[in-house]
Amino acid sequence: MDKFETEEQDNVSEHNTGQVNAKKNIGPLIILAVTLFLLVVAFWQFSGKRSDESLGDAESSNSQTNLRVDIPQLEKKLVEGTVELDFIEPAIEIKAVETAEIVVIKPYLPELNASDLWIKTKLPELTWRAELLKLVIDDDMIRRLVVFTDNFAQGNLSYEHSPFVAPQDKFSVDEAAVIVVDKQNVWSWNKDSTKRFNVYIDLLRSIDSSKLVSWYFELKPLVDQAYGELGYEDDFTLTLQDAIARVLDMELPKSSMAIIRPSVMYKYQDKKLEDLSDSDKLLLRLGKENLLIVKSILLEINEKLGQAKNGIN
């Protein structure tokens, strides 16, 4: 390698070293400038203010804005001592986001004939006394509810479609308080016999009425299907409210509700009581205290049924 080539390489090395040093000096400035630029862009983007657009202009809201920073140009301007940040095309694209369509997802419901297992898994959510759910008959539950309620609203009792198991204890009278009237034994009402309904009342009191009403309307398609099987086209909610109204309208008798037994079955001595419908006489057998509790609970449920029904309509 001759002297000329050596000197030329030295000159090139010195020139390159100068460029490297220059770039080392420019580097921090570039970082600073880019940082400032990004801050300006962020402020411009999120402030919602543009010099050539108005916030109320629907056409402008769908427009696209293109931003680009040219690093080589910025480096050159830094060397020259002049820095300008321009909005020029075509690099970073900011596009308007279209409003997403709201999709309403309906809750899952099983088929009516396969609904028992699904209902049994959800029943504990309604009560804090889950151990009392053993009182509920878990066979064909929706149809049982619909048929029993429909009969009850008309004053009848469909025991074969009762939603609950029968009380273990049977009705009884106070044998020690028997008197003879017109050669007929008359017994006083045995208040202790009403205690056989206490566990049913406890279950009813433990139910979250808001959840119950919400769940009822969730199950409404299945309830309507079961109601339609009886030949009805009306809204079952009206029948349910009629059944509740029958309970709320029940007046407690002032008499002692004395009992006679002209045959195998007991009857009320007072003919007005004996002429009551079967559903009303069942309410009498609950006893005064239990009936008042049932009325209070059903009044609350009935109000929420009406509010929810009006809200749906």
Q: Helix crossing, 236-249 with 141-153: angle to 10°?
A: 50
pTM of whole model > 0.85? no
CA distance 50 to 186: 95
Q: What pLDDT score was predicted for residue 4?
A: 37
Residue 125 confidence (pLDDT): 95
Helix spans in the chain (H) = 3-47, 58-61, 71-80, 116-122, 141-153, 198-206, 209-218, 220-228, 236-249, 271-274, 278-286, 288-312
- Amino acid 102: pLDDT: 64
Which stretches of the chain score pLDDT less than 50?
2-24, 39-44, 46-67, 85-95
Please give the pLDDT value at position 177: 83
Q: Under the phi-then-psi rule, with left for phi > 0, alpha for psi from -120 to 50, and beta for the rest, what region is 89? A: beta
pLDDT tens by residue, 216-259: 999 999 999 999 999 999 999 999 999 999 999 999 888 778 99
Longest CA–CA span in the chain (Å) reads: 151
Which amino acid is located at 73 in the chain? Answer: Q
Read out DSSP for 103-114? -PPPPP---GGG
Q: 59-69, pLDDT tens digit by residue?
A: 444 444 444 55
Residues 6 or more apart whose CB falls under 8 angstroms from that of 210 comprise 304
Cα dist from 105 to 102, 108, 232, whole Å: 10, 9, 29
pLDDT for the residue 192: 84
State the pLDDT at residue 264: 84
